[in-house]
Amino acid sequence: MAPTTMRMEVDFPAPFGPRKPQTDRAGTVKDTRSTARTRPNRLTMACASIMTWDARREGNRDGRRIVPGQAGIHSTLARSAMSPTSRTELHGGDPAMLLEEIGDGIGVVDRGGELIWMNHRLEALDAETMRRFCDCCAALMAELAADGTGRRTHLRTFKAGERTWEAAITPLVPEGGAAATRVVGVLHDVTARQRVLDRVDAIDAAGADLLALDAKSIGPLNVAERLRLIEDKVVSSMERLFGAREFEVRLLDAASQRLELVTSRGIEPLPPGRFLHATPEGNGISGRVASSGEAYLCRDAEHDPAYVAGLAGARASMTVPLLFNEKVVGTLNVESRQPARFDEEDMLCLELFGRYVAMALNILDMLVVERYTTNQRVSGTLRDEIAAPISSIRTAVADLKRDPDVPPQAIAELERAIASVESRVRGATGGPQTVLGVDRVDRSRGTDPDIAGRRIAVLDDEAPVRDAVGMVLAEAGATVDRFESSEEGCAAIERAAAAGAPYDVVISDVRMPGRNGYEVFRVTKQGCTRTQVILMTGFGYDPNHSIVRSTQEGLHCFLFKPFQAQQLVDEVRKAVAEWKGERPMSEGR
């Protein structure tokens, strides 16, 4: 038999009492008639009262029993929200007033999921949200009935449409400890918080992908290809997570405090010879952020004196430090042509993503340094292991010289073989300060027809490499200018271009005092776009990431020291052919 429904009219202190307090299971609001006497304080319920009440304490008014209403339901909430002083200043109806003024929706739901009372905040919400709220309350009461849990607050989160809500639900336990048949819930809009949490989850996923540098995925790649892989992931993540197509990443050189550009999208690099340093003044926002370690939000680039022009027509930017072990290792700068494009939430999320970028670049550098130091250690061991046998062979040759029965030609052949072995050992163990196979370059045809007469600039502060490269190319017929200083080399490149006689090929180390390989590349291309550039690096060590940046802008190729002399000759041939726009004459021979 269906339960009997009794309708009561109950007076509440104004402005309480929703006009349409009940929502059916389908999520539609049931209309209830209003009377002049009760409007807007009308409550429709399937029971005699909201909670246990003491008629003698509440008294009678006009011969009718008065339900204690909100004061009875949430007296604890009112007491905790007001200081003793403020409570004395409020009139008798203020606890109810307090509940109505709370910015959250408040409602009482029975075991059947019926909303039997709500404040105006909850009443103003759509039917779908109220239905989901009631479902959460009913589900909680079912759980409480099953496990016997007493009075305590439970949190439930749900989505309704485009918004996310969190309900704090507390059982209304009657006097005497009987099982709760109703709960009171406070409904709070947590859409903004959930949006941040979703963004953080997406950033964590992108960061995990960025750090997925396992041996299987990066083992076949050289250092430049590994960096390009990371860069591609960063570019994709920046657009997906922040909608950013204009940004730049800079790494901090600890020795010079210079902020070296690693990668850039949409933002024009600084002119050659101009640098940013980690100082609070005179080096733009990036310099300030690198110096202080604190993010900076520029809402109006046109009127912010700290902003240094980067993106053409920029109106807003945000710059965060790249932190590794709480130490600043670089900066990440994002710019936009839209005013006030970014807010504090964007900056917070960018700081989090910046930590992943810093970790990925640090892992890459550690891999390169490990390879560099391992090669040095192996080279030293190899050199020591071979030294003793060669010394023994030389002693034996000296003994043979004293034997009249051994022909002088045989002695000379042995000495040439020993000298060749020693030369190759020096080349193989010399690391990045050498060029391999100089004695094995094909010189049977004399000068090389592709290289002869070409002007080539060689920039390297390591004399053995500079001299070896210069010698090999000079023997091929090129006119070679050698420079120990990057500044001196760049000045010569600029003079040659200004005089209308630019170099055909420029070969430079990526890591030199003064200007790095990328800056040499830019100076060369600004002087003459046809001049081809080849960059060299020791075991792939490229702290300024010159190779990747230059490759994006037209670098001919890069060579990992120690490289073979014949490889150098082959690449110079190809570079000259690109200058002329034709295929090398020696190709395919």
Sequence-distant (6+) residues with CB within 8 A of 417 are none
323-355 residues labelled b (16+ CB within 10 A) or e (exposed): bbeeebbbbbbbbbeeeebbeeebbebbbebbb
Residues 234 and 54: their CA atoms lie apart, in Å, by 67
pLDDT at residue 286 is higher than 50: yes
Q: What is the DSSP string of 37-61?
A: TTTT-----SSS-SS---HHHH-EE
Mean pLDDT of the chain: 75
Residue 434 and residue 465 in contact, taking contact as beta carbons nearer than 8 Å: yes
SS3 assignment, position 171: strand
Pairing verdict, β 247-252 and 259-265: antiparallel
CA distance 418 to 420: 5
> Residue 587: is its pLDDT beyond 60?
no
Residue-wise pLDDT tens digits, 140-183: 888 887 776 666 888 999 999 899 999 999 888 776 666 778 88
Pairing label, strands 327-336, 115-118: unpaired
pLDDT of residue 111: 85
Among positive and negative, which fits the CA dihedral 397, 401, 405, 406? Answer: positive
Quick one: which of 495, 468, 451, 491 has its CA closest to 561? Answer: 468
User: What's the pLDDT score for residue 545?
Assistant: 66
Q: Which three-class secondary structure state does DSSP give residue 297?
A: strand
The pTM score is 0.60
* 455 Ramachandran zone, left/alpha/beta (phi>0; psi -120 to 50): beta
Report the pLDDT averaged over residues 73-81: 39
Q: What is the pLDDT of residue 366?
A: 62
Q: Which residue has the tokens 């807010």?
A: 343
Give the range among 99-113, 212-226, 267-281, 348-362 with minimum mean pLDDT.
Answer: 212-226
The pLDDT assigned to 284 comes to 92
pLDDT at 556 over 50: yes
pLDDT single digits (tens) 469-509: 999 999 999 999 999 999 999 999 999 999 999 999 999 99
Q: What is the mean pLDDT of residues 305-314?
A: 86
What is the distance, to the nearest Å, from the Cα of residue 479 to the centroid of all Cα atoms in its chain? Answer: 46
Distance CA 479, CA 459 (A): 14
Burial 283-305 (b: 16+ CB within 10 A, else e): bbbbbbbbbeeebbbbeebeeee
Q: Is the peptide bond before 271 cis (omega within 30 degrees of 0)?
A: no
Closest CA to 116 of 167, 185, 35, 44: 44
Least confident of 51-60, 205-214, 356-365, 457-466: 51-60
Read off the DSSP letter of residue 256.
Answer: T
Percent of the chain with pLDDT over 70: 68
Of 542, 498, 545, residue with least CA distance to 523: 498
pLDDT at 57: 35
Q: For residues 545 and 566, what is the distance between their CA atoms, to the nearest angstrom?
A: 26
Q: Residue 201: its pLDDT value, please? A: 92
Token code pair at residue 475: 């023997």
- For residue 13, whether the previous peptide bond is cis, meaning omega lies within 30 degrees of 0, is no
Percent of the chain with pLDDT over 90: 32
- What is the per-residue pLDDT for 203? 93
* Contact in structure between 319 and 286 (CB atoms under 8 Å): yes
* DSSP H helical ranges for 476-560: 486-498, 517-527, 546-552
Question: What CA–CA distance (Å, rounded) separates 469 from 258?
Answer: 30
